[in-house]
Amino acid sequence: MVEFLKWSDDYLIGDIQIDTHHKLFFDMVKDISRFLENDSADVNLAAIVDFLHQYVEMHFRVEEEIMMEIAYPDVDKHKDIHKGFSNQIAQLREQLESQENTPTLDDIFTITQNWFLQHILTEDKQLTKYL
Ligand SMILES: [Fe+2]
């Protein structure tokens, strides 16, 4: 049984752009959990990973610009964490393209769920007090 959280406004950090992006990410993880729950066979993994790639490129740029504007003290550490996740997504794309160690939908769910819980709800939440 795959379960993912219900959306809560407690997840908001207080910036409309960042929060809109985070909700989009949440909805994507929720969709993946539903695909898994329903044993959907015709899920296009490459499309999900492409979406993730475009999402991180766009979202990290915006979030990092906002961190600079508000003089967030942990900006360098936070950027490194973003870089690590971008690399992880790039690796998923390569694996799908080369068809070697191809990730499963379960793998993508675990990776994105962990990112939501450990990054968005934890590290991004630290920005709240500077906004
Ligand atoms: Fe972040």
More confident residue, 9 or 2: 9
CA of 129 to the centre of ligand 1 (A): 15
Distance separating alpha carbons of residues 91 and 102, to the nearest angstrom: 10
Whole-number Å distance between alpha carbons of 109 and 114: 8
pTM of the complete model beyond 0.85: yes
How far is the centre of ligand 1, averaged over its atoms, from the C-alpha of 99 (Å)? 30
Question: Separation of 121 CA from ligand 1 center, angstroms?
Answer: 9
Residue 38 alpha carbon to ligand 1 centre in Å: 30
- Confidence category of residue 39, pLDDT binned at 50, 70, 90: confident
What is the whole-number distance in angstroms between the Cα of residue 107 and the centre of ligand 1? 21
The phi, psi pair for 94, rounded to 5°, reads: -60, -40
If you measure from the C-alpha of residue 81 to the centroid of ligand 1, how many angstroms do you get, rounded to a whole number? Answer: 8
Taking the centre of ligand 1 as the mean of its atom positions, its distance from the CA of residue 2, in whole angstroms, is 25
Calculate what percentage of the chain has a pLDDT beyond 70.
98
pLDDT of residue 90: 97
Q: What is the per-residue pLDDT for 1?
A: 56
Mean pLDDT in residue range 83-110: 95
Please give the domain boundaries of the chain with CATH numbers for all domains: 14-130 (1.20.120.50)
Q: What does the mean pLDDT of the chain come to?
A: 95
Residue 102, CA distances (Å) to 19, 34, 95, 98, 99 in order: 31, 21, 5, 8, 5
**Mean pLDDT in residue range 116-130:** 97
Residue 119 CA, ligand 1 centroid: distance in Å? 6
